[in-house]
Chain A
Amino acid sequence: NAGVTQTPKFQVLKTGQSMTLQCAQDMNHNSMYWYRQDPGMGLRLIYYSASEGTTDKGEVPNGYNVSRLNKREFSLRLESAAPSQTSVYFCASRRLNRGDNEQFFGPGTRLTVL
């Protein structure tokens, strides 16, 4: 049981390049989330998927797209990377039918955009 896994762990891009961050969970969770973490700002929600087949914008969606490929996988795509997207990206998942909303986090992807 690996929990939530993310690839890659590190990535350096040039401005304008594109890339996809991958996330997978093996806990049979229905909901999945993408956050970015910046110093002094905590974690901010980019996009989430309440269940397979649905996606919704979070607090900071501009410049990103997501795909819920199946119940296990939720990817985040940067179509044209900008230096402002330099950040640490975390994927998380949550059990359905648990009102406490506890989320389980992956180890993160450190992205630098030059």
Chain B
Amino acid sequence: AQSVTQLGSHVSVSEGALVLLRCNYSSSVPPYLFWYVQYPNQGLQLLLKYTSAATLVKGINGFEAEFKKSETSFHLTKPSAHMSDAAEYFCAVSDPYSKLVFGAGTILRVKS
């Protein structure tokens, strides 16, 4: 069975600081990995995805994530936080044709 662990239910950063949201996964087969963002009172929007191509994946709004097989990690980063980045972020895993399994989510707060 696949699973996802997001370390830290809440992360707080200052505007302009590095954003690092952690995600570790468990999968018995090569995984597909996703980061979704949810702004208040909205649905989920895909930020980026890893599907066994390049290990460094670039997404929307300046976010990127690196797939590290040896560490079973897929951490999300952004060099400089903006106030508009405040949202909840979800990491998810699947194998090629099965269902998505989501982590519990990380709420990002950006301080001015």
Q: Which residues of A contact B (CB under 8 A)?
A: 4, 33, 40-45, 48, 58, 90, 92, 99-108
A42 and B104 contact, CB distance less than 8 A = yes
B96 and A99 contact, CB distance less than 8 A = yes
Query: Chain B at the A interface: mostly helix, strand, loop or mixed?
Result: loop
Q: Report 24 cross-chain contacts, Cβ distance below 8 Å, ordered by A residue.
A: A4-B43, A40-B9, A40-B104, A40-B105, A42-B102, A42-B103, A42-B104, A43-B44, A43-B90, A44-B102, A45-B99, A45-B100, A90-B43, A90-B44, A92-B44, A100-B49, A100-B51, A101-B96, A101-B98, A103-B100, A105-B45, A106-B43, A107-B43, A108-B42
Contact partners of A105 in chain B: CB under 8 A: 36, 43-45
In whole angstroms, what is the CA distance A92 to B44 when docked? 9
Task: Given A90-B44, A99-B96, A101-B98, verify A42-B51 contact (CB < 8 Å).
Answer: no
A42 and B44 contact, CB distance less than 8 A = no
A101 and B32 contact, CB distance less than 8 A = yes
Q: Is B94 an interface residue, CB under 8 A from the partner?
A: yes
